Amino acid sequence: MDKKKFSFVNIVFYVIFGVVTGVLWAYASPIPLIPGAVHFRIFAFFVPAAGFLFGPWAGFFTGYIGTMVWSLLGGYFIPLHSPLADGITVGLSGFFPAWVMLRGGKTLEDITANKLPFIWKSLVWSVLFGILMIFSTSLSLSYFTDLDYWFCVIWIGIADVVPIALCPFVVVWLAPKIKKLHTIMPYR
């Protein structure tokens, strides 16, 4: 494990990204789909976008911390489900798309050089891992509540996958702007 990815500055950024995501999910996503359990996460694209823009670990911690902050602020916290299933799977939905596309020493600049192929590939990976997150989170949610598994799959799918489809467009728009900032948070 590269210690540089877990430097003090990076950890501060991970926490900031996660808290901002959680606050936006709690207060700027006002449409409850399953009251007390699921709401439409308008900003669900933040999780994989953080992974692409700042590296897979940024995506993971944005998703995990965002889930914890959102569930606590919004009253959606379900013991065991939120910290174990929901937090980890949402985090992995930010980690794996970036890890797949950035492996082999590729940089964000490399993968966004050709915008259209990047948009399609990142859309496929983001939605694929978003769907895997939905199935596993739904399993946990149905186990810890009285909700039906397929009911959870449908509503969590609507809540998360629809906004995740915005991720590639956000990344293509933000990547050149972040490069100009000479960010202090390298992901390689």
Domain span including residue 103: 3-181
Q: Is 186 contained in some domain?
A: no
Q: Is 188 contained in some domain?
A: no
Collect all residues with Cβ–Cβ distance below 8 Å to 132 and sequence separation of at least 6.
Answer: 89, 92, 93
pLDDT tens per residue across all 188 residues of the chain: 455 677 888 899 999 999 999 999 989 877 888 887 788 888 999 999 999 999 999 999 999 999 999 999 988 899 999 999 999 999 999 999 999 988 877 777 877 788 888 899 999 999 999 999 999 999 999 999 989 999 999 999 998 888 999 999 999 998 888 876 655 445 44
The span from the CA of 156 to the CA of 135, in Å, is 9
Nearest partner of 158 among 55, 31, 66, judged by Cα: 31
Could you tell me how many helices (H) and strands (E) the chain has, helices first?
8, 2
Number of domains making up the chain: 1
Q: Is 29 contained in some domain?
A: yes
Pairing relationship of beta strands 32-34 and 38-39 according to DSSP bridges:
antiparallel
Nearest partner of 147 among 36, 42, 70, 69, judged by Cα: 36
